[in-house]
Amino acid sequence: MKTLLIDQIESELGTICLVVDGGKLCALDFADYSDRMLKLLTAHFGPVDLVAATDPGGFSSQLRDYLSGNFDIINHIPTNPGGTAFQQQVWSALRQIPVGTYWTYGQLAAHLGKPGAARAVGLANSKNPISIVVPCHRVIGANQSLTGYAGGVDRKRWLLEHEGVDCNRIGNRRPSGGSNKKAGSNTMVQPSLFDA
């Protein structure tokens, strides 16, 4: 069983969980999506044992700095997201989208040299295990809608606005169907995720 370090920080977006392996961030998700996070970690590592730690790798402090407005700091956090070769290409490209900007899924696919692969790019984006640091929130729908964020559209809007994007110019349309959890939910990770 793989042992990983986990920390939680409180934020305006709710409780955020960070998981670290060998000095690299391998997961970052919201506590109310801890089941998704655990599923992605298991797909990457097999069975995992999450051990509570304080500021592993200094990443919790760096995330707090980002949330306080030091946007550049997340560009220097080393990551280990796992995934297929194509997913890794997509996730690497996400880190190239500048702060304060956004791309459509089609633009991201074109950037990768695969202009017809917007759906595949969207699927890879949805499997991103490292929210915020691998900024999948900077990708929007072709119709300029704020869609496709695993943490919920309200959180996506908050992150984009935090980074300086005027969401009144984009994303006025809400995606139809599905449900998104409201930003600010403070649901805690189930205690069973932590080592006793």
Give whichever of 102-106, 147-151, 188-192 has the largest mean pLDDT.
Answer: 102-106
Q: Which residues are catalytic?
A: 136
pLDDT in tens, 33-49: 999 999 999 999 999 99
Residue 169, pLDDT score: 80
Q: How far apart are CA 157 and CA 50, in angstroms?
A: 30
Inform me whether the pLDDT recorded for 190 exceeds 70.
no
Average predicted confidence (pLDDT) for the chain:
86
Cβ atoms of residues 193 and 34 within 8 Å? yes
Maximum C-alpha span of the chain: 48
Q: How far apart are CA 90 and CA 81, in angstroms?
A: 11
